[in-house]
Chain A
C-alpha cells in the first residue's frame, strides 16, 4: 500500500509559483513529511521537512493542514533550473523506512 500519492507530472512557466500536493491519508502520529528534489544525473537533494502547519526555508515552503492527510510543497517564482523530479515521503524520523515513490516530474518552461 503506497504511503503517498502525488501527481506524475506538472508543467509551469518561469516566474510562476508552483504548488505540488501530496496525499498521505494513513499518516501516523510520529510521521514527518519530507520532500526531496532530484535533477537529472544527480542524487536526490533534501529540500524541506515538516510535521504540521507551515515550514519555510530559503528554497520552499511546506503547508500541512490540521488533519495532516496531505501536504503542499510551494516553490515561489520558479526558474528553468527548478525543472526536476520532486519526491514526497512520509515516515518516522527515527526509524528508517524511507521509501521513494515515482515522484512528480516538474517541467518549467520559458
Chain B
C-alpha cells in the first residue's frame, strides 16, 4: 500500500518568506508526527497529532513554526518568516496506534533558506 508522502520534496526559499510543508499519512493512521533532521544527526521531534488534535508542540523551536491537521488526515507544517537556520530535512511520520513508537516515515522535504 501507499506509504507516507510529503510535498514538496525540495523547497528553496528566500529568507523572510513563509513556507508550507505537506504530509499525507498512511490511510487510517491515527497519529501524525513532525520531525526536523540536520545532516549527520538523528531526527528532532517537533510536534504530533492524534486525529486532528495537536497533542504536543513542545518541540517547535519558536512561534514562527505551526502545524495543523484539520480533518485528521493531511497535515501542514508552516514556517513563517523563514531564516537560514531553518534549513534542514523536515520529516513526517504516522502510526496506526495513538502515540506509538512504531512509526512510518515519509521521504522528507529538504528545505533550503537562502
Which residues on A are within 8 Å of B, measured CB to CB? Answer: 32, 34, 42-46, 49, 85, 87, 89, 91, 93-96, 98-103
Q: Kindly list chain A residues whose C-beta atoms are within 8 Å of the C-beta of B108.
A: 43
Which interface class (under 10, 10 to 19, 20 to 34, 35 or more) fits B? 20 to 34
* CB closest chain-B residue, reference A100: B42
Sort A-B residue pairs by CB-CB distance and give the 10 closest, nearest first. A43-B105, A100-B42, A96-B99, A34-B101, A100-B43, A93-B101, A46-B102, A44-B105, A43-B91, A103-B42
B91 & A101 in contact (Cβ 8 Å cutoff): no
* Distance in angstroms between the alpha carbons of A103 and B37 in the assembled complex: 13
Task: List B42-69 residues whose CB lies under 8 Å from chain A.
Answer: 42-45, 48, 55-56
CB distance from A19 to the nearest CB of B (A): 20
Partner of B43, one of A44, A93, A96: A44
Question: Is B106 close to A, CB under 8 A?
Answer: yes
**Quick check: is B84 within 8 A (CB to CB) of the other chain?**
no
Minimum CB–CB distance from A85 to chain B (whole Å) comes to: 8
CB contact under 8 A between A49 and B102, given known A43-B108, A96-B31, A96-B33: yes
Most buried by B among A85, A96, A99, A103: A96
Listed A/B pairs (30) with beta-carbon separation below 8 Å: A34-B101, A42-B107, A43-B91, A43-B106, A44-B105, A45-B105, A46-B102, A46-B103, A46-B104, A49-B101, A49-B102, A85-B42, A93-B97, A93-B99, A93-B100, A93-B101, A93-B102, A94-B99, A95-B99, A96-B31, A96-B48, A96-B56, A96-B99, A98-B101, A98-B103, A99-B45, A100-B35, A100-B42, A100-B45, A101-B42
Q: Which one of A45, A91, A103 lies within 8 Å of B101 (CB-CB)?
A: A91
Is the CB of B93 closer than 8 A to any CB of chain A?
Answer: yes
Question: Chain B residues near A102 (CB, 8 Å)?
Answer: 41-42
Is there a chain A Cβ closer than 8 Å to B17's Cβ? no
- B:1-53 near A, CB below 8 Å: 4, 31, 33, 35, 41-45, 48
Residue among B48, B101, B107 facing the most chain A CB atoms (10 A cut-off): B101
Let me know if B93 and A43 touch, CB within 8 A: yes
